[in-house]
Chains A and B, each alone.
Chain A
């Protein structure tokens, strides 16, 4: 089995969106999808180096799509009903769809609700099983004020991304680990 390497990492927050220029559709995306797209862009990966159907996307969202859910539901009494555009983003996997569309990635997808512990392990497993040659890993901590009030949390808007691939240049992913994705991103940058 080839070694699995962390080829790139990135981390973005809402403030980083001010300078983001990611096409005409970008403004219509929900916050989580915008941040996820920007984080993947900041990885600086050349996706042309691999067949698109061999690149997986594995994402976890700490509070699912609750921030967008709350926004959608606010519009329930609006004339004409709530926004169909927002409804499309009331699923955490919408961010996977946006990443796939932008980079034309047709490989396997995994989407979890919860913390980032499973993201790296499951992505590495996809590679070890031969289901993919590389994986875009994304962890979204996007909790709006409205959502935070519902789940007794604090508002936050951070997204980490990481690119795992079989072989190539980068830090080798240990065979066994028990760590979250943010720690790996921090270690990689150090």
Chain B
């Protein structure tokens, strides 16, 4: 039953987080890696082949998966969602299943199944079913008791931020009291072959915003955030404050050269959050480590913030580029920064490139107080996303 939309939409709060990535299983593993500025990028035997530009990737520990795993994406998503639901269990206890929705963000769903079917290798019915992101979302919703609205978002590397926006909108429209937002992508030969074809992988592992950067490092992760209507969360919970998306309308795979598209998304987000640029205390950048992306992002930051760019950093030197999961797991990085009043660093950075704003955070550090944090992602298709999180 849809409730009437109030004049002022309710605020949306974060009640739980879950993550599994190259730096380990659980949000505490992510927090420890952030404090240590550690990198989870390492050589993976799975991709140690001349077919791929590099085998340095952000892979989840091999022992997480079953032997000959044929549905790795479901396993990653379910683990992250289990963790997030556990953290939010007190809040979720009072919400009926019919009032819980689920929004999944993924770029390739279970592409492992396509590889297996093409090569006549064993592939279970569920693994095959999860080739379709909407069915993957439906099965996660069924297993985890989300009986409300279910969506699957696939907007390239902006999928995660787009899914968080969708989750917030579903709650604001009164269609749910809680939404499970799940971001997931698995490191596959398919994705590695694609980025190799693009010559987009840094053979030595990615170095976002570094003068010597030469490409990205593919990664994999499952990440989940439980969004709830504000009245279900403690007053101190982190809130979704605003968002913006835009399109460069310039090139299918390359970022705009002047950063104007991303700058537009940031301005829309600031406007929707009713904040001035000077009120942003930290920015978690997209920071892929490709020469063009990081240069474009630096220009976008200068266009919006001028010479007063807030402290910013990028997490892909730690996690790799986790594609559909990136927006969700990097938003969890922002949640941890806000909860701990902590500025994450930029792992694997040696020497910042020319043009990168001076406020780039090299090493993590504690600060007196973070109030408002901006998360950015950009993706193929020219799509840009910006999300603002705030303290209660």
Q: Are A101 and B252 in contact (CB under 8 A)?
A: yes
With known contacts A83-B197, A91-B156, A101-B252, A73–B114 Cβ distance under 8 A: yes
Asked if residues B153 and A94 are in contact (CB atoms below 8 Å), the reply is: no
Tell me the A132-160 residues at the B interface (CB within 8 Å).
Answer: 150-151
Bound complex: CA A83 to CA B253 (Å): 14
Q: Which of A12-20, A38-46, A111-119 contacts B (4 or more CB under 8 A)?
A: A111-119
Q: How far is the CA of A114 from the CA of B149 in the complex (A)?
A: 13
A88 contact from B113, B128, B133, B380, Cβ within 8 A: B380
Kindly identify which residue among A81, A92, A129 contacts B196, using a CB–CB cutoff of 8 Å.
A81
Contact across chains for B128 and A150 when beta carbons are under 8 A apart = yes
Complex Cα spacing A112 to B150, Å? 11
Residues of B within 8 A of A61 (CB): 154
Q: Which of A72, A74, A109, A122 contacts B245 (CB 8 A)?
A: A109
B215 CB to nearest chain A CB (Å): 14
Distance (Å) between the CB of A42 and the closest chain B CB? 20
A149 to B133, CA, bound (A): 17
CB-contact partner of A93 in B155, B194, B251, B264, under 8 A: B155
Within 8 A of B (CB), among A96-137: 96-98, 100-101, 103-115, 118, 122, 125, 129, 131
- The docked-state distance in angstroms from the alpha carbon of A83 to that of B193 is 9
B139 at the interface (CB under 8 A from A): no
The residue that A104 contacts in the complex, of B166, B245, B249, B380, with Cβ under 8 A, is B249
Given contacts A66-B131, A81-B197, A91-B380, contact A118 B151 (CB under 8 A): yes
Q: Is the interface of A mostly helix, strand, loop or mixed?
A: mixed
Q: Which residues of A contact B249 (CB under 8 A)?
A: 52, 100-101, 103-106
Within 8 A of A (CB), among B349-392: 379-383
Q: Which chain B residues in 171-188 approach chain A with CB under 8 Å?
A: 173
Chain B contacts for A106, CB-based, 8 A: 246-249, 261, 264
Nearest CB in chain A: distance from B159 CB, A: 8
**Chain B proximity of A67: nearest CB distance (Å):** 11
Give the contacting residue for B380; candidates A82, A97, A113; CB below 8 A.
A97
Tell whether, in the assembled complex, residue A87 and residue B264 are in contact, meaning their CB atoms are under 8 Å apart: no
- B124 in the interface, Cβ–Cβ < 8 Å? no
Contact A100 B382 (CB under 8 A): yes
Instruction: Give complex CA distance A150, B162 in Å.
Output: 28
Given known contacts A53-B246, A64-B109, A96-B381, is B132 in contact with A90 (CB within 8 Å)? no
Q: In whole Å, how far is A45's beta carbon from the nearest beta carbon of chain B?
A: 16
Task: Determine whether B134 belongs to the interface, using a CB cutoff of 8 Å to chain A.
Answer: yes
Q: How far is the CA of A125 from the CA of B383 in the complex (A)?
A: 19
Partner of A96, one of B118, B247, B253: B247
In the bound complex, residues from chain A placing their C-beta under 8 Å from that of B272 are 131
Are B247 and A105 in touch, CB under 8 angstroms?
yes
B190–A73 CB distance below 8 A: yes
Alpha-carbon distance A131/B165, docked complex (angstroms):
12
- Asked if A150 and B381 sit within 8 Å, CB to CB, the answer is no
* B52 → A minimal CB distance (Å): 9
Say whether, besides A97-B383, A105-B249, A150-B113, A64 and B151 are in contact (CB < 8 Å): no
Question: Is there a chain B Cβ closer than 8 Å to A70's Cβ?
Answer: yes
Contact of A92 among B154, B158, B189, B250 (CB under 8 A): B154
- Alpha-carbon distance A152/B208, docked complex (angstroms): 42
Q: How far is the CB of A116 from chain B (nearest CB, A)?
A: 12
User: Chain B residues with Cβ under 8 A from A70's Cβ?
Assistant: 114, 118
Q: Which of B194, B247, B251, B252 has the most CB of A within 10 A?
A: B247
Minimal beta-carbon separation of A136 from chain B (angstroms): 11
Within 8 A of A (CB), among B227-284: 244-253, 261, 264, 268, 272
Query: Does B35 sit at the interface, judged by CB under 8 A?
Result: no
A82: B residues at CB distance < 8 A:
193-194, 197
Interface residue? A167 (CB, 8 A): no
Asked whether A108 and B246 contact (CB < 8 A) given A82-B194, A88-B252, A98-B252, the answer is yes
Nearest CB in chain B: distance from A60 CB, A: 9
Question: Does A69 sit at the interface, judged by CB under 8 A?
Answer: yes
CA distance A104 to B246 in the complex (A): 11
Hey, which chain A residues are within 8 Å of B82, CB to CB? none
B171 to chain A, nearest CB (A): 13
* Residues on the B chain within 8 Å of A151, using CB: 128-129, 131-132
Is A3 part of the binding interface, using a Cβ–Cβ cutoff of 8 Å?
no
Q: Indicate if the CB atoms of A69 and B152 lie closer than 8 Å.
A: no
Beyond A91-B154, A97-B247: 18 further Cβ-contacts under 8 Å?
A: A53-B246, A57-B247, A69-B111, A70-B118, A76-B193, A84-B198, A87-B193, A88-B252, A90-B108, A93-B381, A93-B383, A106-B261, A108-B268, A110-B153, A111-B162, A112-B154, A113-B154, A151-B132
Q: List 12 A-B contacts (CB under 8 A).
A: A64-B133, A66-B114, A72-B190, A87-B195, A88-B380, A100-B249, A105-B247, A109-B381, A111-B155, A112-B152, A113-B133, A122-B166
- Interface on A for B, CB 8 Å cutoff? 52-53, 57, 61, 63-64, 66, 69-70, 72-74, 76, 81-84, 87-88, 90-94, 96-98, 100-101, 103-115, 118, 122, 125, 129, 131, 150-151, 176
| A-B complex: 3 closest residue pairs judged by Cβ atoms | A97-B381, A114-B134, A87-B194
